[in-house]
C-alpha cells in the first residue's frame, strides 16, 4: 500500500498534510496499538492509556476548532485516522470515532458557547464522550424510545434506560436523548448533555461481546436525574433531527473502521500466502488463492474510495445521507467478506487465536450492525435515490 493508502491509479490522492496524518497514525499504531491488540481483546480491557496518547496527538477532537482544544482537521483526515487505527485494532478505531463524530462534533455544531467551552476542551484532551440513543426496545426505531424528560422549573428530570453505549464505561460526557413530549414521537425527542457523576445516573458492567471487546459497551440507568435547562443540545424537540444528522456523519467513521479491517485482512492474507507452503509451493502460487486476494483488494479499494468520497462531501457541506449510507454499507460488507476469505486462506490456523484474522472476523460483523444496520442503510439509500 502506498503512503496515501489509496493505491496506484485510483481517483483519490491525499494531500501532503493528509499523508502526514496517515504516517503519524500508522507509526502510533505500530508502536502502541499492535503490541496490545490481541491482549486487550482477550482480556476485554479498555485501552485507557492509549486514549490519552491519542488526545496528545490531537486525534480525539479532530473535527473541533483549535480554539476549543481540537485539531480543526477535515473529515478526510479523520477518516484516514480511523482507518489506520482500525487496521491494528478495531476497538481503538471505534473509541476514537465515537468521541470525534458522535459527541465532540455535535456539541460544536449545535452547542451554545457555554456548552462548547464546558465540554469540548475535555473531550479533545483526554476526556471521553458517549452517545446514548439506543434502548432495549428502540434500536433501529429511535422514535420508539421510552426515556422521558419532564420539565421541573428551570430543569428537566430524566428517567430511562439506554443500552449498547460505546465508550460508556469510561465516558464522563454523554449526549442523552429523551422524550420531552412523548405524544409527538420523533418530534418530541430532545438531546441533553449529561455528566456521569450526576445523582441517579448509573452504568452497568460492560457487555460480554463477540467483537470489539476492548471498546466497552454498557447500559445506562437514569432514575430521576435532574438536568439544568442550559444542558439541552440544540432546541427542545430537535433531538431526532440532531441524532439523524450526527449518524449520517458517524457512518463515515464506521465506514473508515470497516476499511481498516478489510485492509488488515488483505495484508495478513498476502503475507500468509507468501509463507505457507503446500504441495511443494507457496499457496500464493495457486490461482484459487490469487483470485481471493484479487477480490479482497478490489473490495478494499472500492470501499476506501467511497468512504473518502463521503468524507469529502462532508467537508464540502453537502447532504451526506445517501453517500454516507452507501459508503458505510459497502465498506462493512467488504470488511466481512474479506474477513471470511482471510480465515479461509489461513485454513485451520485462521480458526486459531494465534492468528489475528479470527479477531478481524469477529470485529467486522459489528460494522454491519451499529450506527445503522445494513438493512437500514439500504432503506436510506433507496429513499434518497427515489426521492421518498
371 included as an active-site residue: yes
- The burial class, CB within 10 Å (0-12 / 13-18 / 19+), for 237 is middle
Nearest 5°: the CA angle 101, 146, 245 is 25
> Strands (DSSP E) along the chain, which ranges?
129-132, 148-152, 155-166, 173-179, 189-195, 201-203, 217-228, 232-233, 277-278, 281-282
By C-alpha distance, which of 323, 191, 316, 312 is closest to 248?
A: 323
C-beta separation of 25 from 78 below 8 A:
no
C-beta separation of 103 from 165 below 8 A:
no
C-beta separation of 340 from 41 below 8 A:
no
- The burial class, CB within 10 Å (0-12 / 13-18 / 19+), for 10 is middle
d(CA 333, CA 344): 17
Q: Which listed residue (17, 271, 371, 375) is catalytic?
A: 371
Positions marked catalytic: 371
Amino acid at each position: 500500500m502506498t503512503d496515501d493508502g489509496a493505491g496506484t491509479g485510483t481517483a483519490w490522492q491525499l494531500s501532503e498534510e493528509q499523508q502526514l496524518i496517515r504516517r503519524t497514525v500508522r507509526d502510533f499504531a505500530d508502536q502502541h496499538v499492535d503490541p496490545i491488540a490481541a491482549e486487550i481483546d482477550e482480556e476485554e480491557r479498555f485501552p485507557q492509556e492509549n486514549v490519552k496518547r491519542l488526545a496528545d496527538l490531537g486525534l480525539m477532537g479532530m473535527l473541533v476548532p483549535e480554539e476549543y482544544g481540537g485539531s480543526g482537521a477535515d473529515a478526510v483526515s479523520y477518516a484516514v485516522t480511523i482507518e489506520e487505527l482500525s487496521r491494528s485494532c478495531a476497538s481503538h478505531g471505534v473509541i476514537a470515532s465515537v468521541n470525534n463524530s458522535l459527541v465532540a462534533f455535535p456539541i460544536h455544531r449545535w452547542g451554545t458557547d457555554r456548552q462548547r467551552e464546558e465540554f469540548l476542551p475535555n473531550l479533545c484532551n483526554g476526556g471521553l464522550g458517549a452517545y446514548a440513543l439506543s434502548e432495549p426496545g428502540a434500536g433501529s426505531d429511535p422514535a420508539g424510545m421510552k426515556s422521558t424528560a419532564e420539565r421541573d422549573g428551570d430543569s428537566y428530570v430524566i428517567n430511562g434506560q439506554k443500552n449498547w453505549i460505546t465508550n460508556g464505561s469510561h465516558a464522563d460526557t454523554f449526549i442523552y436523548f429523551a422524550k420531552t413530549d412523548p405524544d409527538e414521537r420523533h418530534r418530541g425527542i430532545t438531546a441533553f448533555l449529561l455528566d456521569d457523576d450526576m445523582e441517579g445516573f448509573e452504568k452497568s458492567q460492560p457487555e460480554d461481546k463477540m467483537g470489539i471487546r476492548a471498546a466497552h459497551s454498557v447500559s445506562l440507568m437514569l432514575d430521576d436525574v435532574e438536568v439544568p435547562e442550559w444542558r439541552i443540545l440544540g432546541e427542545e424537540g430537535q433531538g431526532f433531527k440532531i441524532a439523524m444528522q450526527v449518524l449520517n456523519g458517524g457512518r463515515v467513521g464506521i465506514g473508515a473502521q470497516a476499511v481498516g479491517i478489510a485492509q488488515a485482512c488483505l495484508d495478513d492474507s498476502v503475507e500468509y500466502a507468501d509463507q505457507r507452503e503446500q504441495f511443494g509451493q507457496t499457496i500464493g502460487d495457486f490461482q484459487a488463492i490469487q483470485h481471493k486476494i484479487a477480490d479482497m483488494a478490489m473490495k478494499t479499494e472500492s470501499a476506501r474510495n467511497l468512504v473518502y468520497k463521503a468524507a469529502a462531501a462532508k467537508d464540502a457541506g453537502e447532504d451526506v445521507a445517501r453517500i454516507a449510507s452507501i459508503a458505510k454499507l459497502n465498506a462493512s460488507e467488504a470488511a466481512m467478506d474479506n474477513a471470511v476469505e482471510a480465515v479461509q486462506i489461513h485454513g485451520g490456523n485462521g480458526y486459531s487465536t494465534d492468528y489475528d484474522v479470527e479477531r478481524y472476523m469477529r470485529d467486522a460483523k459489528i460494522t454491519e450492525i451499529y450506527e445503522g444496520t445494513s438493512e437500514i442503510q439500504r432503506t436510506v439509500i433507496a429513499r434518497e435515490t427515489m426521492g421518498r
